[in-house]
Amino acid sequence: MQSRRTRKTQNLEILASKVDLNGREVLINGYNARMKHPQRSRPDQPTVTFLGATQSVSGSMHLLEVGPYRFLLDCGLHRGPRDEARALNARFPFDPASIDAIFLSHAHMDHCGNIPNLVRQGFSGTIYCTHATRDLIEVMLQDSARIQERESEFRGYSRTSSSPLYRMDHVYEAIEYCHGVDYDETVVVNPSVNIRFIDSGHILGSAIVYISIRQADRNYSITFSGDLGRQGVPYLSQPSSLPAADLIICESTYGGKTHESLIGMAEKMSALVTKTVARGGKVLIPAFSLGRTQLVLHYLRVWMASGVLPRLPIYVDSPLAQEIDLVHKKYHADLEPEVTEIPCEWLMSEDDAWYRSTHRDPCILVASGGMCEGGRITQHLKYHIDDPRSTIVLVSYQSPNSLGAQLLTPVPKVFFHGQTWNKWIEVAEVNGFSGHADKNDIDTLLRDAVDSTQQVRLVHGEIPQMTALTAQLQQMGFASVKAPHRNESVVLGAEALKSR
Ligand SMILES: [Zn+2]
């Protein structure tokens, strides 16, 4: 099948000259400089409209308009109650064909998961991301398409609300549009816009996106944090400081919290595992397949090798994490040499998983589904939710409506998989495994930008976290800090003009 992009490439070879923002004729090399919308009204200054992850943590997506050009910062999936999420994901509040390019921060689904739907609805621009992000989204989006097609079959194609958001073909086409770049490489997107990806230390390939803009003889800059990592996480780089800019768009997932220390985490896990083994139970750890699973496995093996934890079999039930593991090995061939003596076994089939879950010997089972909303963990929970000998350790952020949040609530029963269950399993939370910066990390990462930044807009956080971080940043000296609502816009340079 010939993709839209391939067809357009052929057309562009014929139509190889356009006019830039200053009216000069420019030769176009590829897609990037083309003006798709010469008739659209042109705002005098660059404008960002916040379309997702506003006062919430999912569906990261922001629209940047520079004259006639339109760019998306991320294009993620919304999570939440099914019908509500479906409505937010299905339709875009702009014409997808009008988007010139996507600047993608990283490969988590709440940042990239709706790209194939954008493709399905007409997008055929360039997706700029790091090389590792490109490899990871290939795995992640294929998995997402498979899940959607399966769920759709289960619910019945006849209802429009049950049709998948996208299919595998749209994923293949999206991957074809990806343009992988190196960290710290300046990429000329078009005559008005340059971008640079800076390591954010959150997951493999994750990046802060720094955007330089030239419009109407003025220079502007935007720093989009994507998701920021923690200091000192193994086999990831330290998150970089955020460059000062006219506008910093900053995540705030843990903007008001401090993570547990590594020593605290080790002590807590040691106590939980030791008493679970003494009871003859199993330790279940639900973990997102990308990022969290790799980190949890690393620490479990380090702690077993050093005697902090008893040596137990570790089983991993996550086919997706296994594929991601291969991408990790491609970029970090020397990964974890110190812990290879502690094996972990990938469970290859549902029969394997059933056998290991129901076998009576104690073990640690790491399974996909960080909030217990789906993934392999739900199957293991069915076997162990009413077993007081076992323990479930939650290591991820739990959104308010998730099954994980229900488990943490002190109630005797929980509802999932169509029925009510006795909650007799021990439930514990260890939040230090987070891949996100906490309030202290954010303080460190933004400190250098205080003096030369005009505006900060907080995204990707619940309201209490944003409120706490707003106060913290104002105290640090940032003049304009706000948490925008969905569809709210900010005009670059407007604050500076006001204060003149
Ligand atoms: Zn992320």
Q: What is the dihedral of CA 27, 29, 33, 35, to 10 degrees?
A: 70
* Ligand 1 centre distance from Cα of residue 27 (Å): 37
Alpha-carbon distances of 310 from 269, 301, 330, 342, 346, rounded to whole Å? 11, 10, 31, 11, 20
Cα 91 to ligand 1 centroid, rounded to whole Å = 23
Average pLDDT, the chain: 88
- Please give the distance, rounded to the nearest whole angstrom, from the Cα atom of residue 53 to the centre of ligand 1: 12
The CA distance from 472 to 256, in Å, is 9
Query: Distance, CA 370 to ligand 1 centroid (Å)?
Result: 13
Mean pLDDT check: name the lowest of 300-304, 395-399, 485-489: 395-399
Any idea which fold 263-433 has? Rossmann fold (3.40.50)
Cα(253) to centroid(ligand 1), Å: 10
Tell me which residue of 194, 221, 197, 193 sits closest to 209, measured CA to CA.
197
Compute, in angstroms, the gap from residue 155 CA to the centroid of ligand 1.
29
Ligand 1 centroid to Cα of residue 306, in Å, is 30
Least confident among 36-40, 289-293, 339-343, 463-467:
36-40
**429-454 pLDDT, tens digit each:** 998 888 899 999 999 999 999 999 99
Question: How many angstroms does the Cα of residue 105 sit away from the middle of ligand 1?
Answer: 9
Q: Is the pLDDT of residue 254 over 70?
A: yes
Distance 202 CA to ligand 1 centre (A): 7
From the CA of 424, how far away is ligand 1's center (Å)?
32
106 alpha carbon – ligand 1 mean position (Å): 7
**CA 448–ligand 1 middle distance (angstroms):** 23
Ligand 1 centre distance from Cα of residue 108 (Å): 5
What's the pLDDT band for 17 if we cut at 50, 70, 90?
very low
Contact criterion met (CB below 8 Å) for 429 and 259: no
Tokens of 320: 């997706």
Instruction: Look at residue 433 in the predicted model and tell me its pLDDT.
Output: 87
Q: How far is the CA of 399 from the centre of ligand 1 (A)?
A: 14
More confident residue, 460 or 14: 460
**pLDDT tens per residue, range 347-372:** 989 999 999 999 989 999 999 999 99
Task: State the distance from the centre of ligand 1 to the C-alpha of 11, rounded, in angstroms.
Answer: 37
Gap from CA of 107 to ligand 1 centroid (Å): 7
Query: How close is the Cα of 458 to the center of ligand 1, in Å?
Result: 15
Cα-to-centroid distance, 235 and ligand 1 (Å): 16
Residues 4-257+436-498, CATH architecture: 4-Layer Sandwich (3.60)
What would the mean pLDDT of 198-212 be, rounded to a whole number?
97
78 alpha carbon – ligand 1 mean position (Å): 13
Ligand 1 center to 311 CA (angstroms)? 31
For the segment 383-430, what is each residue's pLDDT rounded down to a tens digit? 999 999 999 999 988 888 889 999 999 999 999 888 999 999 999 999
Domain spans in the chain, listed from the N-terminal domain onward: 4-257+436-498, 263-433
| Model confidence, pTM | 0.87
Q: For position 161, what pLDDT does the model report?
A: 59
Ligand 1 centre to CA of 26 (Å) is: 37
Higher pLDDT, residue 331 or 129: 129
User: Tens of pLDDT along 19-68?
Assistant: 333 333 333 333 333 345 544 556 689 999 999 999 998 999 999 999 99
Q: So what's the pLDDT on residue 248? A: 98
The reported pLDDT for the residue numbered 269 is 96
pLDDT in tens, 108-154: 999 999 999 999 999 999 999 999 999 999 999 999 999 888 877 77
Percentage, residues of the chain above pLDDT 90: 72
Give the distance (Å) from ligand 1 centre to CA of residue 398.
14
C-alpha 171/C-alpha 14 separation (Å) is: 28
What is the structure's pLDDT at 338?
60
